[in-house]
Structure formats: structure tokens, C-alpha cells
Amino acid sequence: MLGENTNPTPQEYLLGRMGVCMVVGYSVGASVMDLTLDKLELYLEAGLDLREFLEVDSEAPNGFKDVKYTIQVKGNGTKEQHEKNTSNCN
């Protein structure tokens, strides 16, 4: 933000930490369900409205909104088991 795009922003660090937490939750859930994970990838995306932060609009929402994620997993479980385990990420 207002830089040269050479390092992550604090917001990107926050999303990264959220992703790590979700991966840990998914991995623990898989272990409890006795599932082996060969591959686990998580993609996060979020909207960020900076109008309040930049004092353009004091009524604008502050922080992330519309956080979306996609999990790609490969392992020994069924699709239903992996979908059930995804509820650990919500």
C-alpha cells in the first residue's frame, strides 16, 4: 500500500496467518478422521475497503470483507469426508 510492492503488506501477513490457521485445522481434522493427506493447498482472497483508513469515508466498513477460500486436497479419503473436514476451516 503506497509502496513499491517489494514486501507483503500487514494485510497480506494477516491473510497468510489466517491461511496457516486453516491449514492446521484441516490437517488436525484429517488426522482425527484417519485421513492421509498427500497434498493440501489453500487459496485465500479478501476484499479490503481502505476508504475509512484513508479518512475518505468515515462510514465505510473497516477491515476485510468477503473473505473467500479454496482448498485443494489429495489424499485417501472420499470427497464427502474431505467436504466434512472443510467445516473445520469455517
Beta bridge partners of 49: 63
Query: What's the predicted TM-score (pTM) here?
Result: 0.76
Q: What is the pLDDT of residue 89?
A: 67
Domains of the chain with bracketed CATH = 10-89 (3.30.300.20)
Rounded CA-CA distance 55/62 in Å is 11
Does the pLDDT at position 83 exceed 70? yes
Q: What percent of the chain has pLDDT over 90?
A: 41
| Residue range 40-82, pLDDT digits in tens | 999 999 988 888 878 888 888 887 888 899 999 999 988 889 8
Q: How confident is the model at residue 24 (pLDDT cuts 50, 70, 90)?
A: very high
Per the rule left: phi > 0, alpha: psi between -120 and 50, beta: everything else, 36 is beta
Amino acid letter, 61:
P
**Which residues are within 8 A (CB) of 33 and not within 5 positions of it... i.e. 6 or more apart?**
77, 81, 84, 85
